[in-house]
Amino acid sequence: MGRKPDAVAKPHFSGSVGAGASSPRAARKAPPSPVFLGTALFVLGFVSLFTGHVVTDADWSRIRSRWRSKQIRIYEPIDIWKSRYSSIYYGCSGRSVNFRSAVPENSSTGYLLIATSGGLNQQRIGITDAVVVAWILNATLVVPELDHHSFWKDDSDFSDIFDVDWFISYLSKDVTIVKRIPYEVMLSMDKLPWTMRAPRKSVPEFYIDEVLPILMRRRVLQLTKFDYRLTSELDEDLQKLRCRVNFHALRFTNSIRTLGQKLVRKLRLMSPRYVAVHLRFEPDMLAFSGCYYGGGEKERKELSEIRKRWDTLPELSAEDERSRGKCPLTPHEVGLMLRALGFGNDTNLYVASGEIYGGEETLRPLRELFPNFYTKEMLAGDDLKLFLPFSSRLAAIDFIVCDESDVFVTNNNGNMAKVLAGRRRYMGHKRTIRPNAKKLNVLFQRRKQMGWDTFSQKVQKVQRGLMGEPDDIRPKQDDFHEFPSACICLRKPGNVSVTT
């Protein structure tokens, strides 16, 4: 695992860092109690009676396996590189036989225009939900328009980032998608397209009651600021459609995929496995969080100025936000957490990030903890030049390298963290670590009062349930894009293989 980390100097502003299912073998050792299983089955039967939902083998297996895994999770050691239960689950998002097919363009209720909002992954969520909304409305979807005016100021179009022909073709059985409104339809319109914004997390009934009548009357309608405009609570068929869009249809362009895979190959040549960290320690992220990292009046003034870009943000107490676990870890803290979990100083570390607040001085402690430190800039060299003016295309390259990693570490609950965490669960529960910032904060404050072995044991304890296991702890209000449970199935016992 490598030597234990030496004391590492912190950047000037971090001086006050207050800042599944079980295997068959395990199942035999800890059989579910008859009382528990009987109660669970009774509840499922009761729900079935009143909702019309038939309790399937998958429902029953999901409850039984989740209970079993929780019985053994607190006792067994964690393999930091791979979940031993990952082979038990697989991504399943196929269309059901009763799922309505795409409505032909000439029979649809009209053309749905979508203007997405935010950065790459926020827009990705918007595109995913746009397809579902088009299905709900029986509409023809026009390829969504990307946001050119947000903080990132990227003028890339859909076809500059995603393979548009693949997108249209892959979803052709679900929703009819066109690249543009036909010319003759545009000529026949006596008014500009109606524009409206749906409330956040709207239910399907909103689109049917409020949007559909306008679409049918005007023939063309645009929904603006389209991100998180559809509830996470949908029926299983629509959730599976979400997964088909997000995990299959949204494929990056060939130029982005080629460079991303080239960086992955370079990392694999240096070491058979690597850890990717989405650091999220950029100035805008820190300003938005309302957190303080010990940089004195200079830091307070700089982040306060950036925070003014969002005129609706409330006043926050930096101390309260940190104690609630809402502050991203510093690069030094990320490094300490990883070393405490057992990743040695010889681990290859890929860091996905934009401009780091504090620059190289901030990154120095992480580099010293993990000398094999790499970024896309270091690995790509001149190949990156064509992408440099476009933040979303750069983010797409980071997305690929993080997605292909053996271990992915998030450092905030942002859109890239959510989308990648959900994708990695869908693709076989590849190890994904979410820092328990609230409890880690307490340990970092007391770091000097305990030996390394004690610190390491405590870090491992607080991270249980946040390591990418099938039965990970979920937030109170989880997001389907992060936990796509409707699209993850349990393998039949005869097809299960658990590595011990």
Q: Is the pLDDT of residue 42 over 80?
A: no
Per residue in 457-494, pLDDT tens? 999 999 999 999 998 988 877 889 999 999 999 987 75
Strand 194-196 to 177-178 pairing: unpaired
Q: pLDDT for 366-395, tens place per residue?
A: 999 999 999 999 999 999 999 999 999 999
Alpha helices (H) along 290-372: 296-307, 318-323, 331-341, 359-369
Q: Is 456 helix (H, G, I), strand (E, B) or coil?
A: helix
Distance of CA 130 to the CA centre of its chain: 18
Q: Please tell me the distance from the alpha carbon of residue 197 to that of residue 377, in angstroms, as a whole number.
A: 38
Stretch 343-360: mean pLDDT: 94
- pLDDT at position 360 is 92
Please say whether the beta carbons of 137 and 206 come within 8 A: no
pTM: 0.84
pLDDT tens-digit map of 112-152: 999 999 999 999 999 999 999 999 999 999 999 999 887 66
pLDDT above 50 (res 12): no
Write out the DSSP string of 203-217.
-HHHIIIIIHHHHHH
Token pair for 208: 């049917």
Give 394's contacts (C-beta < 8 A, 6+ positions apart): 376, 384, 387, 388
The span from the CA of 135 to the CA of 129, in Å, is 10
Give the residue among 499, 324, 318, 346 at the shortest CA–CA distance from 413: 324
Alpha carbons 131 and 139: distance in angstroms, whole number: 9
Token couple for 492: 């039949």
Q: How far apart are CA 21 and CA 54, in angstroms?
A: 22
Distance CA 377, CA 352 (A): 10
How many other CB atoms are there within 10 angstroms of residue 326's CB atom?
18
3-state secondary structure of 193: coil
pLDDT tens-digit map of 277-302: 999 898 888 888 888 888 889 989 98
User: pLDDT at position 498, please?
Assistant: 46
**Is the C-alpha dihedral spanning 345, 350, 353, 354 positive or negative?**
positive
Instruction: Give the tokens for residue 260.
Output: 């991303």
State mean pLDDT over 313-329. 87
Cα 460 to its chain centre, rounded Å, is 23
pLDDT at 110 over 90: yes
Q: What is the pLDDT of residues 425-469, one digit of tens each?
A: 999 999 999 999 999 999 999 999 999 999 999 999 999 999 999
Record the tokens describing residue 420, joined without a space: 């990648």
Phi first, then psi: give them for residue 100, nearest 5 degrees: -60, 135
- pLDDT band for position 317 (50/70/90)? confident
Percent of the chain with pLDDT over 70: 83
Mean pLDDT of the region 389-408? 97
Whether 481 and 422 have beta carbons less than 8 Å apart is answered as yes
**Within 10 Å of residue 147's Cβ, how many Cβ atoms?**
25
Q: What is the average per-residue pLDDT within 403-423?
A: 94
Mean of pLDDT over the chain: 86
Tokens representing residue 336 in the block: 């300490």
Residue (of 330, 420, 433, 331) closest to 373 by Cα position = 331
* Extents of the domains making up the chain: 12-19+254-495, 24-91, 105-249
With 90 as the cut, is the pLDDT of residue 57 above it?
Answer: no
Q: Give the three-state DSSP class for 83.
A: coil
Q: What is the pLDDT of residue 39?
A: 55
Reported as a pLDDT band with limits 50, 70 and 90, residue 261 is very high
Lowest mean pLDDT among 60-64, 162-166, 200-204, 254-258: 60-64
362: three-class secondary structure by DSSP = helix
